[in-house]
Structure 1
Amino acid sequence: MIIRSDRSRTRSVLVALAVAALTVAGSVSVVARTTTAQAAAGVLAAATVEDEGADCAVSGLPDLGSLPTNAKLPDPFKKLNGATITAKSDWRCRRAEIKELAEKFVFGEKPAKPATVTGTVSTTNITVNVSHNGRSSSFSARVELPSGTGPFPAVVVVGGFGADTATIKAAGAAVISYDPLAVGREGTPRNNKQGAFYSIYGSSSSTGLLAAWGWGVSRIIDVIEQSGSTILKSDAMGVTGCSRYGKGAFAIGVFDQRIALTMPIESGSAGVPIFRGIPGEGAQSLSSAYGEQPWLGDAFGSFTGSPNRLPVDTHEMVAMVAPRGLFIMDNPHIANLGPRSASVAALGGAEVYRALGAGDNITYWSDVQDGSHCANRPEWRTPLQNNIRKFLLKTGNEPGAIRIHSKALGRLADWRDWPTPVLADGPTTPPPTTPPPTTPPPTTSPPTTPPPTTPPPTTPPPTTPPPNGAGCTATVSVNQWTGGFVAAVRVTAGPAPINGWTVTMTLPSGASITNIWSANRSGTTGTVQFTNVAYNGSIGAGQSTEFGYQGTGTAAGMTPTCSAA
């Protein structure tokens, strides 16, 4: 989806801080060279290297011709060898497997740091010069500093078009305006791609623009890193973008673990929404997104009509950001953007965040009123400030939130057939190496007493109906995250049709309903009765209908009962 070039690239001032202006003179020249990947710098922090799993041995990648069809989302916890990870420490190399799958089948390869990167960082500009295998290229980015005293955290705004830059600077972070088209140009055929990336890796590279744009931001971070972080902090980097630049921001955060905060906005097809959900939602088709620009890698062309064959999906790319900060902003009012599929991706990826003990680090927010594409929304202002404080300034600890508009609520339960494991904090315990005991088994003969011949009781089983109520039954599935949940309730008629239903459910202490759809409710806490609305009260024999609600707190142990009118 193309954004008009005449759209304003600045945002109205929402927050202002009256503090002294900063003047920093001069620039810093740096030279960065390839280094070996290092270990992670803590489970809740951004990594100190671009790809901390680069040393993981990844084997067993499937071939294109051997991919089975699977309508369900792939299990993010299941390794290529079929085993399920059992410890948080296992995620590093499981993430490396997902990265290889994403590169091979979706984005194309994002190469590691080139042989030599040189550049400068000043108060107004960053320059990047790259040399690799006898080829070279250069590009630059504009810098806007906030008021105050540096060095500053910084947010890369892809295409100058993303989250509100006034709010970003007012919160104390610098803005880096990055022109991705200088690195990977749009409007070029796949066999003749242009830009700084393709000057190094060849115009016929199978790598798509999104991975190339990510490569460019990684080189900017290289330069900031090697500058000594005297002006900008390399360990406090964020990225944001909207529409096609939202696709780019998402890919940038997915593939560089030095990005502490990833903030894509309304990214649409080829961005956050699950590929498997797009055909059924009426979003921009995969073939359209693939053909509009070479955003995705060339290999993805085999899946535009058959996304169920993909061995990876975007919920796993959401998971690749874990446990770092992720703030996804979406628009429920434009089906072409695939917001329902995006909410499923967020809910699926949030399961990995939760398993890693980092459930507070992800926010998905589509609960907004304004329907226009890439508008500046007041609902996002506070969570934007909170995320910048938490992940860039490191002065806050506000938990993330899942706020899904009822118009575009996806049900993760419909898309997965895998559980979320409880991951141990430490590494998995290796099997014991002690040899088995050599004591021979006992030779005592088994008893010869014959089994009792008492016949089984002939009393028929009780015919008392189950406690779920008369005429209908109800079941609930819950997507839980830290501090909140979404509950989807299925009401099923018994052997006879019904013309109205009431579902009763007791919420746990501290839980409260904030939003509901397809039902009426008697309250928001404690024991709540849900009744049908006009269009879903009549249910045929054995047929079902659904309603749902969103709440705060925990939803553990809720047991619905149903009675027919």
Structure 2
Amino acid sequence: MNKLVFIALFFFLFQPFAFAQYEPNYDESKVPEFKLPDPLKTFSGKKIRNAKQWEKKRRPELLNFFTQNVYGEVPGELNISSVEVVEQSNNALNGKASRKQVELTFKKDNRSLSYTILMYLPINVEKAPVFLGYNFYGNHTIANDVNILISEAWSRDNPSFGIIHNQLTEQSRGVRTNRWALDEIIGAGYGLAVIYYGEIDPDKDDMSDGVHPFFYVDDQQQPADNEWGSISAWTWGLSRAMDYFQKDADVDASKVIVFGHSRLGKTSLWAGATDTRFAGVISNDSGCGGAALSKRRFGETVWRINRSFPHWFCTNFKNYSKNEEALPVDQHQLIALIAPRPVYVASAEEDLWADPKGEFLSAYYASPVYKLYGKEGIVQKEMPGVNRPIQNTVAYHIRTGKHDVTDFDWEQYIKWADKFVK
């Protein structure tokens, strides 16, 4: 038999079996046995007994490991060069809110990058607490408001939204109003600030655009193995928004809650871990690399996420693809890095890809760190019933439905923020 024919026949017959072990697992009985690393025991085995020891010894080493081996290090500083209010109105949402669109610009050498923060603030609140989050398809998608500027940044195509040739269009205005519960947020006395994530770093495996090249040295074309992927770049953008909020008289910068869904939920968790100025953190269906435990290998795995989205994490994270047992950390310790500030982890019943049980267990196993501060976390190891939230400093719910953000989610987030942030 011809050698090439033999090879082709081999792959045709045996490739399905070769890759069967990497098919997503949705069977709890097939979750491998694993031992989670203790958040209250250092890498050298020393027990952490109080908040002071946590902050001095354990928290720094955990933060350093996640930085160097999962999300990547930001290789320098880049401060805001200029701030411009490009549009504003005191009569938005039928007079219930003010609207402001603020452009932040960053310059270095011959490069320039700008992104726009769209803000709605309740008209009757002098300094408003704010939910801050990224959106997937442009600020103009979050509300039916003709005054919202349409970004010219690259976008993933979505023909159902009228987005083709990677260009945002008028046709996509208001297509994601269902995810933001804007009237309810404003009515509860909170502001909402949103940013199109593609303006900071386009969501594609290309490190030649966005903010990454601002820090390249000589002929560098890619971040170093321990340097930032896109999640860290988006996190950087959230922190620069916080820099701006601290100078905006309309915002209570001490009460900014960072929110994210899916890959942007991974981003909100990392933002909360790295920037202690955020008063609270919300992870909505964040899954692998977010709230879900990696060692469970349920739904999306480290291998799959690194294969499908190689630009999200630092290159060093690929050392743990199909090798989760070698990870000396897991995502419950990421959540613990947010302590003692409140954190909310949410799942959806049909979103098995994101591993709801793994997300819940992360919140549960992070709770002993919150206990060091006298804060109440998740005290029972059994998941709560569907649509039955646990509202403590560490909060959790699983709701009916799919991978999405719903009015039910926002209702819980607002109640929780009223109690623990506002």
Give secondary structure in 2 for the equivalent of 1:73: coil
Matched, 1:286 2:286: no
Distance 1:241 1:324, change over 3 A: same
1:377: how far off?
4.8
1:257: how far off?
0.9
Matched, 1:86 2:44: no
Give secondary structure in 2 for the equivalent of 1:321: coil
CA distance in 2 between counterparts of 1:89 and 1:132 reads: 39
Matched, 1:342 2:359: yes
Matched, 1:196 2:225: no
| Contact 2:50–2:372 (Cα < 8 Å) also in 1 | no
| Contact 2:80–2:104 (Cα < 8 Å) also in 1 | no
The aligned residue for residue 101 of structure 2 is: 125
Matched, 1:177 2:204: no
Distance 1:92 1:303, change over 3 A: same
Amino acid at match of 2:300: Q
| Contact 1:137–1:200 (Cα < 8 Å) also in 2 | no
| Contact 1:241–1:247 (Cα < 8 Å) also in 2 | yes
CA distance in 2 between counterparts of 1:390 and 1:194 reads: 41
| Contact 1:247–1:272 (Cα < 8 Å) also in 2 | yes
| Contact 1:111–1:215 (Cα < 8 Å) also in 2 | no
The aligned residue for residue 321 of structure 2 is: 304
CA distance in 2 between counterparts of 1:197 and 1:128 reads: 17
CA distance in 2 between counterparts of 1:193 and 1:337 reads: 30
Distance 1:99 1:374, change over 3 A: same
1:338: how far off?
1.0
Matched, 1:374 2:404: yes
The aligned residue for residue 231 of structure 1 is: 250
Amino acid at match of 1:220: A
1:114: how far off?
2.9
Aligned residues: CA RMSD: 2.4
1:100: how far off?
0.4
1:391: how far off?
4.1
Give secondary structure in 2 for the equivalent of 1:273: coil
Q: Could you tell me which of 356, 359, 374 is aligned with 1:357?
A: 374
Distance 1:291 1:331, change over 3 A: same
1:273: how far off?
0.3
1:197: how far off?
4.2
The aligned residue for residue 383 of structure 1 is: 412
1:150: how far off?
2.2
| Contact 1:243–1:268 (Cα < 8 Å) also in 2 | yes
1:119: how far off?
2.4
Higher strand share: 1
Structure with more contact order per residue of length (Cα contacts < 8 Å, sep ≥ 6): 2
The aligned residue for residue 138 of structure 1 is: 114
| Contact 2:79–2:240 (Cα < 8 Å) also in 1 | no
Give secondary structure in 2 for the equivalent of 1:330: strand
Cα deviation code 1:292-320 (max 9, x no counterpart): 22211111111111011112111000101
CA distance in 1 between counterparts of 2:76 and 2:349 reads: 36
The aligned residue for residue 403 of structure 1 is: none
Amino acid at match of 1:96: P
1:107: how far off?
0.5
CA distance in 2 between counterparts of 1:127 and 1:258 reads: 21
CA distance in 2 between counterparts of 1:111 and 1:95 reads: 21
Instruction: Say how many residue pairs are matched.
Output: 314
Matched, 1:209 2:209: no
1:115: how far off?
5.3
The aligned residue for residue 261 of structure 1 is: 280
The aligned residue for residue 560 of structure 1 is: none
Amino acid at match of 1:204: Q
Q: Could you tell me which of 125, 140, 165 is aligned with 1:149?
A: 125
CA distance in 2 between counterparts of 1:241 and 1:86 reads: 32
The aligned residue for residue 62 of structure 2 is: 98
Distance 1:357 1:126, change over 3 A: same
1:230: how far off?
0.7
Can you give the 5+ residue segments of structure 2 that lack an aligned partner in the other structure? Answer: 1-32, 89-98, 136-141, 143-175, 377-391
Cα deviation code 1:402-451 (max 9, x no counterpart): xxxxxxxxxxxxxxxxxxxxxxxxxxxxxxxxxxxxxxxxxxxxxxxxxx
Amino acid at match of 1:374: D
1:334: how far off?
2.5
CA distance in 2 between counterparts of 1:203 and 1:391 reads: 44
Amino acid at match of 1:99: L
Distance 1:223 1:376, change over 3 A: same
The aligned residue for residue 49 of structure 1 is: none
Give secondary structure in 1 for the equivalent of 2:295: coil
CA distance in 1 between counterparts of 2:320 and 2:49 reads: 31
Cα deviation code 1:222-252 (max 9, x no counterpart): 1221x2x311122111121222222222222
Distance 1:217 1:112, change over 3 A: farther
Cα deviation code 1:102-137 (max 9, x no counterpart): 011111113565356542466512222234577553
| Contact 2:125–2:189 (Cα < 8 Å) also in 1 | no
1:346: how far off?
0.9
The aligned residue for residue 40 of structure 2 is: 77
Give secondary structure in 2 for the equivalent of 1:291: helix
Q: Map residues 19-38 of structure 1 onto 2, 5 A cutoff.
A: none
Distance 1:184 1:276, change over 3 A: same
Amino acid at match of 1:72: K
CA distance in 2 between counterparts of 1:213 and 1:135 reads: 18
Can you give the 5+ residue segments of structure 1 that lack an aligned partner in the other structure? Answer: 1-69, 394-565
Amino acid at match of 1:75: D
What is the percent sequence identity of the aligned residues? 22
Matched, 1:328 2:360: no
CA distance in 2 between counterparts of 1:116 and 1:337 reads: 35
Give secondary structure in 1 for the equivalent of 2:348: coil
Q: Map residues 366-445 of structure 1 onto 2, 5 A cutoff.
A: 366=398, 368=399, 370-378=400-408, 380-393=409-422
1:175: how far off?
1.0
1:328: how far off?
1.1
Cα deviation code 1:226-285 (max 9, x no counterpart): x2x3111221111212222222222222221111111111112221101111x2x2x023
Distance 1:273 1:114, change over 3 A: same
Distance 1:132 1:302, change over 3 A: same
